A and B are shown apart, each in its own frame.
Chain A
Amino acid sequence: MIWIETLSNHKEAVLRVRCEQDTATIGRGYDNDAVIDDPYVAARHLRIRRDDEGTLIAEDLGSHNGLYDEAGRRQQSLPLAGDTLIRIGQTWLRVRESSFAVVDERKLPPARRAWPWFLVLLVLTVGFALLATWLDDVWERSDSVSMYLGPLLGSGLFLAAWVGMWAFLSRVFLGQARAIPHAMVALCGVMALFVTNFVQEWLGFTLVNSALTAYSYVTSWVLSGIVCLAHLRLNRVRFFRRKAALVFVLVLGGCLLTWIEDKPFAPDKSSDVDKLYRTQQFPPSWRLATPRTETEFIEKVRSLKPRLEALRQRTLDDKSDAAEDEAGEE
């Protein structure tokens, strides 16, 4: 007894025909053992038979479009192992014997309920978001809750759209939406962003190091990349490594793009004023750096002078070069 399987483009079985004999014919005509509704398949296209050694063989019966192996080479006949894929017309086929050994059943995951964890995460994230708004709510005491709810609603909608997208992909390719695990990944990502942002701002203040804040976009991009990888992993995508590499390239590209826009320490940067100044202030007790003495500070400030002079000289040289170029063109 053999089974003739028609496969989808994703190589999943969509139809199985059971044949009691070891020979069978396949084609569009109704006198075949397996009838294929593919206009590119001949009326009698293919025969399956067993050779002297007992191997199943697929044979082209002289069709116009022929028989192809998995690599896309046309064949007159092909031996069929249980996993051999063949194509006639636009239809993928697989032939298996009843003795084909299937893999052991997958164990059901232990019944774990994800949603309590999800709720905990949700509460934590909302808490972080409210805390951030509260810390910045320093001007007038706001009477309305809209100041707090507005941003929450906005980012909530964005998160819902993000999770929805991944759940949709998961539903299409995996058959399960897995919305809650996806939502948990997204929430973890958001929390990580909150925390790293806060820590970076604090480090920038306490260590008096503007590089930390100037390059904070790197952390944001990397975190976004990690979140995407987690989503991909959840969806058990094929070629995970290739896709991970793609995410890596995207993160790198994002960083590069922001850097080009930003160029925090590039010599031709127009002004430090809006960048270099540390982005956040913290209470004095949060400071770790030992203050400099007045003398040390003045020394550091004086070191700006040669830098500015060099900068001035370079700008003037560039200008005169440009003027010479212009004169040369004329």
Chain B
Amino acid sequence: MPVTMSRFSVWFGSALGSLLLLAVLQAPSALAADEGGAAAPRILSATAEQIFGQAQSGLLQIRTLLKSAQKQSSIGSGFLVSADGLAITNYHVVSQYALEPELYRLEFVGADGVKGKLRLHAIDVINDLAVVRLETPPAPPFKVFQFNPDAVEGKLVKGERLFSMGNPLDLGFTIVEGTYNGLVEKSYQAHVHFTGALNPGMSGGPTVSGDTRIVGVNVAHRVGSELVSFLVPAEAAFRLLEKARADREMDAAEVRKDIGAQMSGWQADFFAALKTQGFHQAELGPYRVAESNADWFSCWANTNRDRRRKLRAQVSESSCDTHTQLFLAHDMSAGKVALSHSYLKSVDLNALQFARQLIRAARSETPGWGPRNRFTPDRCYEDFIGGDGAKGGDPARPALQVAWCARAYLDFPELYDVWMVSVTQDHEQEALVSSVVLTGVHFDNAVAFTSDFRAALKVQRDLD
């Protein structure tokens, strides 16, 4: 994760944190003028040429058209996986159509320029996959992609040469050479790390091994990096295809229901996994907080002590994010877990001034929620808790001032976005401001998680 990235720019920015999903939402404004040198010597990658030749007839460009304007609203890629016209692409390529079929329609364009309608058969929002059926399959013979058995079983070795195909930026079908680099480490989601140039528009395109068999589905590349790209593992695509063969066409209500069910299952698994991994104690001044043992949390620390010349309060922050945001729609994602703690200690502020410093810190922890049309308004509860060491409670637990807020997803019952900000109330000159942001969770999971989070907040101060 780039260090310079602001912590809050990612709340509801592009899904998967700083990953850029590879569907093009708008036509590129300008194309590079240099369209290739004239008399460069012809050096061919024989393999790539051969693979592209074989695969070409099975490649699709997938367009989402705005019905009222008859113009494309987003484009991606896809590939045929059955003789009767089933094709695989990314969920995010077809999400507009999936959620609002009355506003959008789906269209494919084959490598030979033939166009046709698409129907949605199955989606997997967790792995960002969708299976669509061509209303009129192209005239045979055409390429039907097979899965690489080693990839499905996860037995590929690092360094294997892979070839990724798709239609980047609506410039025409291309093939890109790259390398398999295993599964992305420290990630809850299984993603193949592909070192190769994936560009917007190639989303949903196939990445194949030398035998033209599917290893993964193009999904994202990391902004600000060189050639760091990601694929959905073949196994997920294989499983979804098996399911899709039995399924019939889905309408919007079924899509919503399916997404809701998938998210529910996902978040249940995620919180269970989090619990299994366990927590360890971390220190921030006299305060003790819990940090997850799970290695899929990426944590960053930050202090103002090196920055300000005349400090009036020292601030040390630590924030952890799972980067598990799942794309649900271009303006909605879920599955984020972000935890942060700011330890503030007054240098020369009096108690009243320090309190004002605290409210600023607490405010900066409130998330800037995204679009309102997909959620109910927030509802919050604020109060003081605890500090009841004298009454037989845990003396190490400081009194807290807590604001706990939630909003419900309109499209998916049982799913909520929840955030909590707490400020410790045990000292006039130092405090811990902590926050939790959970998106796409069940209410009870959020209640339990935030309660555990509060319970883990302790203070250990030497008695003077």
Contact = CB atoms under 8 A, between A and B. Distances in A.
A138 interface: yes
Contacts of B383: 208, 289, 291-292, 297, 300
A139 interface: yes
A289 B312 contact: no
Given A304-B381, A308-B416, A291 B386 contact: yes
Given A138-B312, A308-B408, A277 B376 contact: no
Contacts of B191: none
B283 interface: no
A214 to B, nearest CB: 12
Contacts of A293: 385-386, 388, 393
A280 interface: yes
Interface residues of A, number: 51
A294 interface: yes
A305 B443 contact: yes
B423 interface: yes
Interface string B427-464: 11000000000000001000100110011000000000
A294 B310 contact: no
A272 B379 contact: yes
Given A283-B352, A284-B428, A293-B386, A277 B363 contact: yes
A270 B360 CA distance: 22
B444 to A, nearest CB: 8
A304 B379 contact: yes
B10 interface: no
A301 interface: yes
B399 A271 contact: no
Interface residues of B, number: 64
Contacts of B66: none
A135 B366 contact: no
A42 B214 CA distance: 112
A44 to B, nearest CB: 81
Nearest to A276: B380
Nearest to A136: B356
A274 B363 CA distance: 9
A312 B410 contact: yes
B462 to A, nearest CB: 19
A287 B425 contact: yes
B410 A291 contact: no
A316 interface: yes
Contacts of B349: 138
Nearest to A268: B377
Contact of B376 (A136, A138, A285, A308): A308
A281 B378 contact: no
B353 A277 contact: no
A277 B366 contact: yes
Contacts of A301: 381, 404, 447, 450
A289 B402 CA distance: 13
Given A141-B310, A283-B428, A284-B425, A273 B369 contact: yes
Contacts of A324: none
A291 B362 CA distance: 19
Contacts of B450: 301
A140 interface: yes
B192 interface: no
A294 B379 contact: no
A315 interface: yes
Contacts of A297: 381, 383, 385, 402, 404
A308 B387 CA distance: 30
A149 interface: no
Interface string B71-115: 000000000000000000000000000000000000000000000
Given A281-B359, A289-B384, A304-B379, A140 B312 contact: yes
B461 to A, nearest CB: 14
Given A271-B369, A277-B380, A298 B451 contact: yes
Contacts of A311: 376-377, 379, 408
Nearest to A209: B382
B381 A210 contact: no
Given A140-B309, A285-B428, A294 B376 contact: no
A309 interface: yes
B381 A300 contact: yes
Nearest to B310: A141
A210 B378 CA distance: 15
B387 A291 contact: yes
A131 to B, nearest CB: 10
A45 B214 CA distance: 115
B351 interface: yes
Contacts of A305: 406, 443
A278 B388 CA distance: 23
The 7 A-B residue pairs whose C-beta atoms are closest, nearest first, are A283-B351, A281-B359, A291-B384, A141-B310, A281-B355, A284-B425, A311-B376
18 contacts: A140-B309, A141-B312, A141-B348, A270-B377, A271-B377, A273-B369, A277-B382, A277-B421, A281-B355, A282-B352, A283-B355, A284-B427, A291-B384, A291-B385, A291-B400, A297-B402, A305-B406, A312-B409
Interface of B: 308-313, 348-349, 351-360, 362-363, 366-367, 369, 372, 376-388, 393, 399-410, 413, 416, 421, 423, 425-428, 443, 447, 450-451, 454-455
Interface of A: 134-141, 208, 210, 268-274, 276-287, 289-294, 297-298, 300-305, 307-309, 311-312, 315-316, 319
Given A291-B385, A311-B377, A319-B410, 15 more contacts: A134-B353, A138-B349, A208-B383, A270-B372, A272-B378, A273-B366, A273-B405, A274-B366, A281-B355, A289-B383, A290-B384, A297-B385, A304-B379, A308-B416, A312-B413
